Structure 1
Amino acid sequence: MAMTGIEKGCFLRLFNRGGYVLNFTTDSFDTFTKSSVGVALCARYGLSKGKSLTAYIEEAPPEDASKLLCDLFEYYEAHYTAEIEGESSEWGADEYRRYYEKCKPIAKREQSGVSVFAQKADLEAHFTSEYMRQQIDALFTSRETYPTEAIGKSKELIESCCKSILEENGRTYDKNWSLGQLVKATMQCLDVDANEINAGLPAGDTVKRILGSLGNIAGGIAELRNPYGTGHGKPDSYKGLTVRHAKLAVGSATTLVEYLWDAHEWRKEQRVAH
């Protein structure tokens, strides 16, 4: 969820101290913003630190604006403890503390969103079909706004990944297979099935256990999806699971899908090399 204009304004009021930004000098501010978002703001805009920050936040892509504001918020928390705890006698300290309380939940939300965005970008780098991209978009969009849909989409993402891999490798699959059977067939196709790993190899037993657990993710998500995900009608008494359960399903599905697709890509590269 992108920050609203009002939310951005809360951060700007917290950081802007009469044209200054917190306790930064011009040079240290440019160094900080360059490290955060790749832009030395004062050098770019030729304005005061406060006006340069405002200009950038107004025109930057939402994810870049969010990152810089969240990075500045972390800096504020590390360097303005007295103000946060109400121990500062500086002019305006009480007002800044009120803005801090408003900004804190927004920063927490956005920092979580940055992590998800990065994970989503990693996934989309793997898949090229528009259908797969649409699934990924729906999955990451719905995990906090509609947990029931996110749980259902997690299962669908695994299904689509496995079917794509099997089809690319000329393998057939039964449309009546369970999700667990589909994942097992995919792992066998990629020679990463736990039962086929030689436990006598270095760390072989550990790899077998990890792969076994990874394979079980599919069964767990399928079981979760049946009563709590989309795809089945629900009675009036239905109560969905919480956002944290949706995040668990999305994170687990993502881990499995990334591993399977990485193994698939590696196999393709090996065939080309030989």
Structure 2
Amino acid sequence: MTKQERAELLQNLLLNMATDGDADGSEYQQLRQEMLRDQRTRELLPRFVVTSRDLGQFWSFIKYKFSTYQERREYIWEQFRPLIDSLEGVRTASAPPDADIDSALAQYDAEHVFVAWQKALARRFDDPDGAITSARTLLESVCKHILDEAGVVYNDKMDLPKLYHLTAEQLNMAPSQHEEKIFKQILGGCKSVVEGLGALRNKLSDAHGKGKQGVKPAERHAALAVNLAGSMAAFFVSSWKERQAGAE
């Protein structure tokens, strides 16, 4: 049985469980363990699979999250889509902006960059904390890949704004590299977006411990972070590929 077939079987087991059908608990546990042992599938596995050690735990989650069978089906399909699409090699997403970003990142020869994007997408609504962290990880990964390919030395512990500054210089995107007011304004805006993503993660996400009054991120915060990070990552990749093509 292929990985894709195992992923689809796992999805179907959960669909059956969520709609009062027959589901084999031991088969679920075996498939779950197989998926968790494989790095590629583990990173794209729905959060509720990671946290549900058996079907009883999954049922306790899904029965309160949605009251109708149709809502449960649509939710499970949506959460499994990044994993199954990745195993199929299909680069699709649920919204037009996502599809544009998919196209740009799928063409970049760095598999875990695309995995980071798919992981951020999958966590937007089910795990806002994790989605914000994944959004920043995506940008950091893209910056590091571009710097590696450009032969630029950097400290692996650099924060995102510093990585962005080095990357922007390689892409001729630093505001200081342009005289035209409009270009400086646009590129300054890009810098602000990156700095804002870093600040959002530090303020809201699971990157730092929270006190009693800690702010819990909402779905809209996660959607904002993921969409901004995806758009910026796609812009970086497209700009880098264009510069490489021009240098040939």
- Taking structure 2 as the reference length, the TM-score comes to 0.59
The equivalent residue for 1:206 is 182
Match of 1:61 in 2: none
Correspondences of 1:109-148 after superposition (within 5 Å):
113-115=94-96, 117-148=98-129
- Residue identity in the other structure for 1:215: K
Task: State which of 241, 244, 247 in structure 2 corresponds to 1:268.
Answer: 244
* Identity, % of aligned positions: 25
Q: Is the 8 A contact 2:140 2:160 kept in 1?
A: yes
- For residue 236 of structure 2, what is the amino acid of its counterpart? L
Greater Cα shift, 167-176 or 217-226: 167-176
Root-mean-square deviation (Å): 3.0
8 Å contact 1:180–1:219 — kept in the other structure?
Answer: yes
Aligned equivalents of 2:233 and 2:98: distance in 1? 16
Q: Return the alpha-carbon distance in structure 1 between the equivalents of residues 98 and 195 of structure 2.
A: 26
Matched, 1:215 2:191: yes
Find the counterpart in structure 2 of residue 80 from structure 1. Answer: none
1:249 has 2:222 as partner? no
Matched length: 167
TM-score (norm 1): 0.54
Q: How many Å apart are 1:139 and its aligned residue?
A: 0.6
- Paired residue type of 1:223: A
Query: In the TM superposition, what are the counterparts of 1:1-274 in structure 2 within 5 Å?
Result: 113-115=94-96, 117-199=98-180, 205-235=181-211, 237-272=213-248
Once residues 192 and 155 of structure 2 are traced to their aligned partners in structure 1, the CA distance between those partners, rounded to angstroms, is: 20
Mark the runs of 5 or more structure 2 residues left unpaired by the alignment.
Answer: 1-10, 16-69, 79-92
Q: Which runs of 5+ in 1 are unaligned?
A: 6-101, 200-204
How far apart are 1:267 and its partner, in Å? Answer: 0.9
1:81-115 Cα offsets, whole Å, 9 max, x none, are xxxxxxxxxxxxxxxxxxxxx99xx8xxx9x9333
In the aligned structure 2, how far is the partner of 1:174 from the partner of 1:266?
Answer: 26
Asked if the contact 1:120/1:140 (under 8 Å) is kept, the reply is: no
Higher relative contact order (CA 8 A, sep 6+): 2
Provide the rounded CA distance (Å) in 1 between the counterparts of 2:190 and 2:162: 13
**Amino acid aligned to 2:137:** E
Choose 1 or 2 for highest CA Rg.
1
Q: State the 1:240 CA deviation.
A: 1.4
The CA deviation at 1:206 is 1.2
